[in-house]
A and B are shown apart, each in its own frame.
Chain A
């Protein structure tokens, strides 16, 4: 197993939209719709944002949305706000009841 590929950093201005990609292989992201996304602020536990590619838990803002095409999943954040500045991680089922995370993306709100 190797970590899913995410950009190390992305940035955007308040009100703008950004997209974070998560690239895997046909053995994980490409074969299963079990991709989830997490937001982590410094010193805090991760928070679930998206599950099963595009489903949003209750209480999560609809500014967060997920999608997938082939071996790449994406998280889109619209209407950027200062509090969105955090680290973001994708996670995918990788077969044999195992999972793997992406290396993480640091979002900076300019």
Chain B
């Protein structure tokens, strides 16, 4: 069965960086784009960007450009999301989510990781 397992909670100081991992299993990792979505406490979902696990190509929401880097390691079927220059308003649960269209962007997300809480104290 498809599973996305994310790394554990993090507490970071303002200005630092955080790297969240998402290990995929149960399907061919390189066949499906991976998106990252975050959710601040009590707030809605916010799309951050995607990575093509085959080519490593990425596309980010304008809001995060210059601060976010999405990478992958195909040998371990793991996607990574690195967010730098952290601020208190980056405190959120970060999710990875699979796009179910083979080799393309379908624009919906069928499997989600369990979420990783990143806390940036003010």
Contact = CB atoms under 8 A, between A and B. Distances in A.
Contact of B63 (A1, A36, A40, A92): A1
Interface residues of A, number: 27
A3 B37 CA distance: 14
B47 A99 contact: yes
A100 B47 contact: yes
Interface residues of B, number: 23
B47 A101 contact: yes
B44 A97 contact: no
A101 B44 contact: yes
B53 interface: no
Contacts of B107: 32, 34, 36, 51, 91-93, 99
Interface of B: 35, 37, 44-47, 50, 59, 61-63, 95, 97, 105-110, 112-115
Interface of A: 1, 3, 32, 34, 36, 38, 40, 45-48, 51-52, 57, 89, 91-93, 96-104
